[in-house]
Structure 1
Amino acid sequence: MPEPAATLASVRVDQPSDGVVVLHVSGELDTSSADELASPLKSNLVTGVRAVVVDLLQVRFLGSAGLESLVTGSKRADELGVPLIVVAAGRAVLRPIEATGLASVFTIVATVDEALAKV
């Protein structure tokens, strides 16, 4: 029996400094759970935010719907002039990003500390 979507992915929101938001994503981002990322991205990409970091280090699977959430967030960040930085190091996340050519679209770093140093 498949697990409910709520248990497939989760996002914890952190604000390490004023105007900087880190979305710590864990689990699997597929068609049934991509909104777990899309919703907090949308609600945190607002006027006044200085940067958004999407931490995907605990993501075990990144499907096309998860990639779509990231692309939509990236477009919104561009509209606002806000950097959106993706933290990714594992094959489960980097391979789909690279295979779709999105590595050139996102700013990708290996650690949250590295991302925070960029803002």
Structure 2
Amino acid sequence: MTTHERQRAPAPDPPTYRLPSPRAPVGELSGRTRWSTADAVVVEVTGEIDVCTVSRLEAALDDFLRAGPRVVRLDLGEVRFLGAAGLRALMRAHERAAAVGVHLVLDAGRSHPAARALDLLDRLRA
């Protein structure tokens, strides 16, 4: 039998890989004013700060900054996820606060995701 007469075995199907399903947008973010005076506001944020929820966070921060206290403290201790969109929003809020003379304090508290994200934010600003 010559080479061109040999029958070739069918090529095996290429391996298939299952991709993880995209994370469903939960849209779970809440906040409450824990303490407020004319000079300072403490806001507690819980849930996830991502592309689906960041607009609510930005709107709330804008309201607090417009009120004009000397200090706004954002308690992120109950945040379960802080994504890139949330970091960008916090950076913009920090710039807006500085422009209007408000000291914005970001407190990660017990939240490991918030602590990691804020550490990254500090490294980016350095």
Question: What TM-score range do you get, normalising by the shorter chain?
Answer: 0.7 to 0.9
Q: Name which of 92, 97, 100 aligns with 1:72.
A: 92
Structure-1 residue corresponding to 2:105: 85
d(CA) in 2 for partners of 1:63, 1:85: 19
Does residue 20 in structure 1 map to residue 37 in structure 2?
Answer: no
Letter in 1 for 2:32: R
SS at match of 1:18: coil
Does residue 103 in structure 1 map to residue 116 in structure 2?
Answer: no
Contiguous gaps of at least 5 residues in structure 2? 1-22
Q: How many residues align?
A: 101
Partners of 1:9 and 1:25 within 8 A in 2: yes
Structure of larger gyration radius? 2
Cα RMSD over matched residues?
2.0
d(CA) in 2 for partners of 1:76, 1:10: 22
Q: Name which of 83, 87, 92 aligns with 1:63.
A: 83
Partners of 1:47 and 1:80 within 8 A in 2: no
**Equivalent pairs: percent with the same residue?**
33
How much has 1:33 moved relative to structure 2? 0.7
SS at match of 2:68: coil
Contiguous gaps of at least 5 residues in structure 1? 106-119
Q: TM-score, normalised by structure 2?
A: 0.70
Higher strand share: 1
> Given the superposition, is the C-alpha separation of residues 2 and 21 from structure 1 closer, same or farther in structure 2, using an over 3 Å criterion?
same
